[in-house]
Amino acid sequence: MNINILTNLEYERLLHLVTEKGKTFAEAKSQAEQEVLAAFDIAGSFEEFENLNIFEGGDGNAALLAVSVMMQAETDDAGLAKRMDKFADSFAETGNWKDSATKATIADWAADAIAGNGLDSIRKNIESWDIGDTVAAFEKYITAEFPDTVVYSSSSADRSSSSFDKESIWSYLNPNVSYGEFTDERDGQVYKYVEIEGRNWMAQNMNYATPNASSMLCPSAKEKSCSFHGLVYTWEEAVNVCPEGWHVPSYAEWDTLTSYLWANYNWDDVSPVFSMQPTNVAGFVLAMPDYDPLMRDSSEKYKDCYLDSYDPHFWVDSLYRDEALFFAFTDAGIWENFVPTTTCKNQVRCIMDPIVSSSSVAISSGAESSSSVEPAKTALDFLNPAIEYGEFVDDRDNQTYKSVKIGDQVWMAQNLNYAYNQKTRSGSASSFCYGNEPDSCGKYGRLYLWSAALDSAAQFSDDAKGCGNEVVCEFEESVRGVCPKGWHLPDTSEFRTLLNFVGDSSGTKLKANEAWKETYADPYGFSALPAGGYDYRDEDHSVYPHFDYAGELTYFWSIVSRDHDDGYALAMDYYMTSAKLYWSYKYNARSVRCLKD
């Protein structure tokens, strides 16, 4: 009986992609066919499987015959049926043939058949049936090596600018993903990129030849294996290696990417979005790293760099206490770690700089321009219209703020949004827009490290010079901190005065209307917004930098230390009816509300 082995092998996978992954039939069929061929290390652009015939010539028919031959190697009819069922079991959900024992059996047979006259005997046997005019050249697709990777058809990837062979990472692009392309003007290299969760990520590793960049397999960035693997860089080189308009991702940007992958894909489909994994759904395209020997050297000199796996590791743009952070992609997931020296070498994957525009305007011929995108809400949209607010201008950047009198105190009715970016040991900035999105600063103001809130760099006053993480400072007078001239950062007693004046259920009385999960009256016009925070790192290193809890909670820094690591802040949570003084790690970033002198 003549069966079409390829249509049998693709069936369960195609069904899974349609019913479980929501793909169209055409998308699922294209993907499943490429994955089946890739399981046998076959690349090419062929007709759909059901149109192939082992009794006709042509590359597609040759591929069908080659897979038919390999699947029957060293087995009988019952063994073939079992082998195909086992293939379907692992392949349906992942697109990956996870039967190493069978692959080893076929590989051993293929090696002997290629070396001897085994393939010639098969050809003569089929010719003796006298069924077709010719026997396709199946021999070229018989392989003794079965990859754990998906190698997409070389003709399915866009090669509009350059011609690459299978050693290029372009051979591993997902044909179902739309890729952009740009040229690094420094050396003329062309890179692909992909949009994931609203941001453009390079789909290749950085391959620009800096003085100390290195690779085990190629002498220069122009060699093919460097195009495939990219180069590895020390942290100091990495943070400056991206092309113009691109940058090394922050922890928050890596965290956003990996969280999106976890939340939206079956991990078997993208784990860890390796090129060596089946579907590479997100199009991120990772290849096993080509590390400099120093990165893998376990000797005493380089013991701090030693890592016991060859999984891809990518630098993060900032340091923590002089230790370099990186993200590692493994077949078990994605994890974060750090090395105590920046002279170790890792790969670099760049992300495009965000595009910031004040407005988006659609203009038609002969017509007035009008906004095509609803503008983002600002803090002003959440003020209580029944309250009479004051107003003042911060002469440092000419931003205008609303103020409100509550009892005998005059408070800012918006969070401070001054860009205090004194460099710290943790990175190049000490204040942040939530999610690194400029629009969030217009709504929530900026998030400040405790040292930035106090102006420890003494940019505006010497009130709290040198105060910050791991330092306990006590103040007898008010501290201006990062606040505008004529205003100061509150102490805990001033926050208590506010809470005592508004009375019980202070949280419900100080929260802005319509911004939280419940509706509030905001009777005093304080208009607190759930700005969330930027958690840089727990003291036990169990948490790494990430933005969190916008829409759920807010903290306002005070000048009072709890101890070396913690400072007090006024805290409000969506489920709390009262606002409370609570502590927060000084190396986490929180909001600032200033009080008039």
**Between 311 and 79, the higher pLDDT residue:** 79
Amino acid (one-letter) located at 376 = A
240 burial type by CB count under 10 A (0-12 exposed, 13-18 middle, 19+ buried): exposed
Which amino acid makes up residue 370? S
Torsion sign across C-alpha atoms 396, 402, 408, 409: negative
CA distances from 472 to 464, 469, 503, 565 (A): 11, 8, 31, 8
Contact of 157 with 171, CB cutoff 8 Å: yes
Reading the block at residue 465, the tokens are: 């010079």
User: 63 by DSSP, 3-state: which?
Assistant: helix
Tokens 């392309």 belong to 181
- H-helix or E-strand spanning residue 210: none
Give strand pairing partners of 351: 201, 247
Q: Tell me the sheet residues that pair with 69.
A: none
DSSP string over 282-300: T---B------HHHH--SG
Mean pLDDT, range 74-84, rounded to an integer: 87
pLDDT digits 0-9 by tens, 497-507? 999 999 988 98
Residue 78: what residue type?
A: A
More confident position, 28 or 252: 28
Q: Residue 72's pLDDT band (boundaries 50, 70, 90)?
A: very high
Q: For position 222, what pLDDT does the model report?
A: 44
Chain Cα centroid distance, residue 249 = 8
Tell me which H or E stretch contains 124: helix 118-127
**Is there a contact between 543 and 554 (Cβ–Cβ < 8 Å)?**
no
pLDDT tens, residue by residue, 199-245? 899 988 888 888 766 654 444 444 445 666 778 888 888 888 999 99
Q: Is 463 left (phi over 0), alpha (psi -120 to 50) or beta?
A: alpha
Tally Cβ neighbours within 10 Å of residue 231: 26
If you average pLDDT over residues 285-294, what whole number do you get?
A: 52
Identify which of 449, 483, 485, 486 has the alpha carbon closest to the alpha carbon of residue 468. 449
* Mean pLDDT of all residues in 427-450: 85
Angle at 467 between CA 465 and CA 472, to 5 degrees: 140
Instruction: Please name the residue that has the structure tokens 């369960």.
Output: 12
Token match 């509150």: residue? 490
Considering the entire predicted model, what is its pTM?
A: 0.46
CA atoms within 13 A on the CB side of 313: 26
pLDDT tens, residue by residue, 510-543:
999 988 888 899 999 999 999 999 886 544 444 4
Among 29-38, 243-252, 356-365, which is the least confidently predicted range?
Answer: 356-365
Q: Cα separation of 287 and 307, whole Å?
A: 17
More confident residue, 82 or 483: 483
- Note the pLDDT of residue 297: 44
Query: Rounded to whole angstroms, what are the CA distances from 584 to 168, 434, 489, 564?
Result: 48, 17, 16, 11
What's the confidence (pLDDT) of residue 311? 66
Residue 221 or 407, more confident? 407
Is the dihedral angle over the CA atoms 29, 34, 37, 40 positive or is it negative?
negative
Determine contact, residues 422/430, Cβ cutoff 8 Å.
Answer: yes
368-406 CB burial, b ≥16 within 10 A, e <16: eeeeeeeeeeebeebbbeebebeebebeeeebebbbbbb
- Contact present, 68 and 125 (Cβ < 8 Å): no
Distance of CA 149 to the CA centre of its chain: 22
Site of tokens 């016009």: 525
Looking at every residue in the chain, the average pLDDT score rounds to: 78
- In whole angstroms, what is the distance from residue 54 CA to residue 65 CA? 5
pLDDT, tens digit, 9 for 90 and up, residues 104-153: 888 888 888 888 888 889 988 988 888 877 888 888 888 766 654 333 22
Per the listing, tokens 């952009």 go with 180
Q: Once rounded to an integer, what is the mean pLDDT over residues 28-46?
A: 85
Q: Which residues pair with 492 in a beta bridge?
A: none
Q: Is 273 left (phi over 0), alpha (psi -120 to 50) or beta?
A: left
Beta bridge mates, 200: 195
